[in-house]
Structures are given as C-alpha cells and as structure tokens.
Amino acid sequence: MIIRCCDTEDLQGLLDLYRELRPHDPTLKQHDAQQAWHKLLANPGIKIIVAEIDGVLASTCQLSICQTLTNAAKPFGIIEHVITAEAYRRRGLSEKVIERALDIAWEENCYKVMLLSGESRTAAHKLYEKIGFQSGIERGFVIKPDLG
C-alpha cells in the first residue's frame, strides 16, 4: 500500500471512488473532468491524498488549505470527500489518508483542521473521533444554492 498525493494519471481512479461516495452526482463529460482536474492539481492549496493498492486507488480524501489573516496569519485546513472503495473497507485506509492530510496541514502550519461529514454517517463519525477530531468545539453550518 502507498499513501501519496494524486498526480495527473489518477483522474479516472479518483472519479471511480467519487462515484461510490456520491452515486447520484451527474456524470462529468471527459473534457469537463479534465479541465477541473487540471485546476485542482494546479492549486497549491489543494491536496488530494490517496491510498493505492496494487495500482488501484482504494481510498481518498481532499485537503484544502485556506490562507487567512487571523491566528497570526496561520492557515486552516478543511478535509472533505473521504471515501474508501467497498472492496477495500475495514483495512484502516480512510484513517491513513486522513492522517496524511493532517500531516500535510501541520507541515503547512495550519492552526486547525475542520472536517464536515453527513449528519447520519455515525460509523464515519466514530472514525473521525478515533483520529482525534472532536464535535462540539465549533458548530458547522452549510448553505447550498437554490437550484429549483
């Protein structure tokens, strides 16, 4: 198993993982996926960490590092899109990719890292707490655009 940041050849493997995470998302056209992928890879504040097993992307999470002027101008991190493929679950892969994301965040001098998770994903919440995330310190709120 290899834990690493994504590179240009990982697009299809990542899309396969995301299809498991969000099966109802619309399918991206190849051109649109390529454009978005190049933007993600070119952004120094975004790291997509993967666990690779025998050439297959088995698990991933995305770390976004956000610059700020508060907290002595130290950035903060946000972890999103945590998924392990069904065939590779129960091996600690999500924990490993999140821990690598945290290592990167601390190397970048982040003063905190936040992680949002679906309210009903209690098994995932137990994993996040095992890693050291705590609920009840701050309260998260989400707004999405009205599409209808």
More confident residue, 94 or 119: 94
Give dist(CA 94, CA 49) in Å, integer.
10
The whole-number pLDDT of residue 21 equals 87
Q: What is the DSSP letter of 146?
A: -
Strands 56-66 and 2-5: unpaired
With 80 as the cut, is the pLDDT of residue 129 above it? yes
Reported as a single tens digit per residue, the pLDDT across 52-92 is 999 999 999 999 999 999 999 999 999 999 999 999 999 99
Give the integer Cα–Cα distance in Å for 96 and 49. 9
CA distance 72 to 91: 39
Percent of the chain exceeding pLDDT 90 equals: 80
Above 80 in pLDDT, residue 147?
A: no
Q: Specify the pLDDT at position 115.
A: 94
pLDDT digit string (tens) for 21-49? 898 999 899 999 999 999 999 999 999 99
Output the pLDDT for position 72: 96
pLDDT score for 4: 97
Cβ atoms of 75 and 68 within 8 Å: the answer is yes
How many Cα atoms are found within 13 Å in the side-chain-facing hemisphere of 107?
9
Predicted model pTM: 0.92
CB atoms within 10 A of CB 10: 19
d(CA 109, CA 13): 30
